[in-house]
Amino acid sequence: MNIKEEIKKRGIFLRKRWGQNFFIGDPDKLLDLISITDRDFVIEVGTGTGNLTEKIAKRCKFIVSYEIDKRLKEMIYKNLEGVQNVEVRFMDFLKEEKFPDYDLVFFSNLPYSSGTEILKKVVRINNITRGYFMIQKELGERIESCPSKKTYSAISVFLQTFFSFRKLKDISKENFFPVPQVNSTFFEFRRIRDWDDKWSRYEVFLKRVFSKRRKKIKTSIFSFIKKLPEFNMDLRPENLSIEEYIKIYEIFSQSKNKPNS
């Protein structure tokens, strides 16, 4: 029995507010694109029916998988029967506060409703050193975007400050159930910078700057940073590189005139 048939048989109606679109493509072809070994501890967000979880478990040392929908519990336990190196936590990953202190690999078919929030949480978990995720194509384009592109945004800068991204594959929407309106992209990321307290206002700072993305930085940033040495003040927020944003944020952090959160 396939995933669609099993969900329908059990009378489970998937919820849009949780962004539930299960991967029903070939899991082995997908996982052959990534590097997970029997030494790796994996954090998975979105167990779904457990079909990908079971395949990942065969490749890794141990996997902790998070699933918010407790109605799927019976299906998950059935599909993971006999698999010893899996722990499923039926809770919202965004509410999890405790993680192991050893290096972790992240994996997720990210929910459409909370994908960016999950990635922003992952940024703050420093021992997640690399990972893989599927996300709707339009959001993926924003995540990996570069300066001067229309898709370059605050989330592009925020995530690329901490991770490098590599697109592994575009995935057609027919590989998901229910079929979403858009295609998805499969990404790999690797950590390039740790999170600490000095970044606590970084997201607020970026949102403030990009709220005036078409204005020159002498207009959009001058309101809370009076002087930006070594910067071309005629550039716009959409033209600045990641490293330039980091330098400006360092100046901002030392400034007494900070934006409200």
pTM over cut 0.95: no
Q: What is the CATH number of the domain that holds 210?
A: 1.10.8.100
Residue 187: phi, psi to the nearest 5?
-120, 155
Residues 145 and 229 in one domain: no
| pLDDT for the residue 261 | 44
Q: Show pLDDT as tens, one digit a residue, over the chain (261 residues).
A: 576 667 766 666 666 666 678 899 999 999 999 999 999 999 999 999 999 999 999 999 999 999 999 999 999 999 999 999 999 999 999 999 999 899 999 999 998 889 999 999 999 999 999 999 999 999 999 999 999 999 999 999 999 999 999 999 999 999 998 898 999 999 999 999 999 999 999 999 999 899 988 888 877 776 666 667 677 878 899 999 999 999 999 988 887 545 554
Q: Can you tell me the distance from the alpha carbon of 80 to that of 75, in angstroms, rounded to the nearest whole number?
A: 9
Q: What is the CATH number of the domain that holds 117?
A: 3.40.50.150
Alpha helices by DSSP H, the chain = 3-9, 27-31, 51-57, 73-79, 115-123, 137-143, 154-162, 202-210, 217-220, 242-254
In a domain, 259, yes or no: no
Strands in the chain per DSSP E:
22-23, 41-45, 62-66, 86-89, 104-109, 128-136, 163-171, 176-177, 184-191
Residue where one domain finishes, among candidates 195, 213, 229: 195
